[in-house]
């Protein structure tokens, strides 16, 4: 897969320098990479927002980096987005979902984007000191921020975007920039409102249930990461618990309570999603079955049919007919 630095992906179309270090930037995706826009606002108060809506003309790994420690709230409004962090750690942000990511002052990540698939997302960035104040009710936040500086990143999953967040996000979907100071001030207020509401939502999620302190959440995230990255292996709950450094019984109970699904169902869904991608890449049904961790084609085909309402062989024919 081709790799491109995000800065090389875009070209500046318009830039506005506003009073008090406020800056607005409109950029376009370069034609040789695809088409679409990227709109960025620095509000000059430790918070910046960005919105993107574009499609690429080939499969790319988009490389992004930052030397400013802090937090970023990412709201995905299009297809699933794959992130690859240092240490080959993978995270998938599903459509209409969000998370809060903590980053070090030497942060980097790659986004795996496929050809002709829309990438549409809204981002709110908050500098470290301000985020520590805004989210101080999160347990052990200062310690986690210090650990983040050593390991590059930390993710706090938020779940699905709710109706109020969708309402606030609608203010960021304008694909042009406005030189009217009052309009920019209104957008800034929406960004602050969205950040405030989302951070409180995360705090309530973590603190309303005493069982889910940050240490336990980290173990659950490790378990999920094992499923995401090692789906092709013959994983048992005991194996996952050992690798995530937690108790098998607690893992089963807490995983379902926290993620709203069982370990088995998440593993099955992950395998089937990868299987669909492999079929799109013209692997045979048998090859796909073995690559995602199933031994019997009949069992795999039945699961695929139940999940996608089409058999893997029929789906492969459908893809190849285009």
pLDDT digits (tens, 9 = 90+) for 160-197: 898 889 989 988 877 676 666 667 778 888 898 999 99
The arithmetic mean of pLDDT across residues 45-70, rounded, is 93
Position 72 scores a pLDDT of 95
- What average pLDDT score do residues 188-211 get? 80
Residue 48's pLDDT is what?
Answer: 93
pLDDT digit string, tens, across residues 104-141: 988 999 999 999 999 999 999 999 999 999 888 887 78
pLDDT for 44 equals 87
Task: Report the distance separating Cα 170 and Cα 167, nearest Å.
Answer: 5
Prediction pTM value: 0.69
User: Predicted confidence band at 301 (pLDDT cuts at 50, 70, 90)?
Assistant: very high
Which of the given ranges, 139-153, 203-217, 290-304, has the highest pLDDT on average? 290-304
Instruction: Give residue 139's pLDDT.
Output: 74
Ranking 40-49, 133-142, 161-170, 286-295 by mean pLDDT, the lowest is 133-142
Q: Is the pLDDT at 60 greater than 60, yes or no?
A: yes
Percent of the chain, pLDDT > 70? 95
Instruction: For residue 271, name the pLDDT band (cuts at 50, 70, 90).
Output: very high
Task: Note the pLDDT of residue 124.
Answer: 96
| pLDDT tens-digit series, residues 76-96 | 999 899 999 887 788 889 999
Tell whether the model's pLDDT for residue 152 goes beyond 90: no
Per-residue pLDDT at 213 exceeds 70 = no
């Amino acid at each position: 897969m081709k790799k491109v630095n995000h800065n090389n992906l875009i070209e500046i179309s318009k830039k506005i320098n506003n009073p008090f270090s406020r800056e607005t930037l409109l950029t376009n995706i370069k034609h040789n990479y695809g088409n679409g826009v990227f709109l960025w606002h620095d509000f000059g108060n430790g918070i910046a927002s960005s919105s993107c809506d574009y499609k690429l003309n080939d499969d790319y790994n988009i490389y992004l980096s930052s030397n400013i420690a802090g937090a970023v709230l990412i709201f995905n409004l299009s297809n699933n987005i794959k992130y690859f962090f240092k240490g080959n750690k993978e995270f998938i942000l599903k459509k209409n979902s969000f998370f809060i990511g903590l980053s070090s002052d030497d942060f980097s990540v790659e986004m795996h984007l496929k050809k002709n698939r829309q990438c549409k997302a809204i981002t709110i960035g908050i500098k470290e000191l301000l985020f520590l104040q805004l989210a101080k009710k999160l347990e052990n936040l200062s310690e986690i921020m210090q650990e983040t500086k050593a390991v590059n990143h930390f993710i706090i999953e938020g779940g699905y975007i709710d109706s109020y967040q969708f309402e606030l996000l609608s203010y960021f979907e304008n694909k042009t920039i406005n030189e009217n100071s009052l309009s920019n001030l209104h957008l800034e207020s929406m960004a602050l409102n969205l950040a405030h509401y989302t951070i409180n939502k995360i705090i309530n999620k973590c603190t309303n249930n005493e069982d889910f302190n940050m240490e336990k959440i980290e173990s659950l995230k490790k378990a999920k990461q094992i499923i995401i990255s090692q789906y092709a292996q013959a994983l048992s709950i005991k194996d996952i618990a050992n690798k995530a450094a937690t108790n098998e019984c607690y893992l089963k109970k807490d995983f379902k309570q926290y993620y709203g699904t069982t370990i088995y169902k998440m593993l099955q869904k992950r395998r089937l999603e990868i299987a669909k991608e492999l079929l799109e890449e013209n692997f045979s049904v048998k090859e796909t079955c073995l690559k995602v961790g199933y031994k019997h084609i009949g069992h795999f085909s039945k699961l695929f049919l139940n999940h996608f309402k089409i058999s893997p062989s029929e789906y492969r024919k459908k893809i190849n007919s285009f």
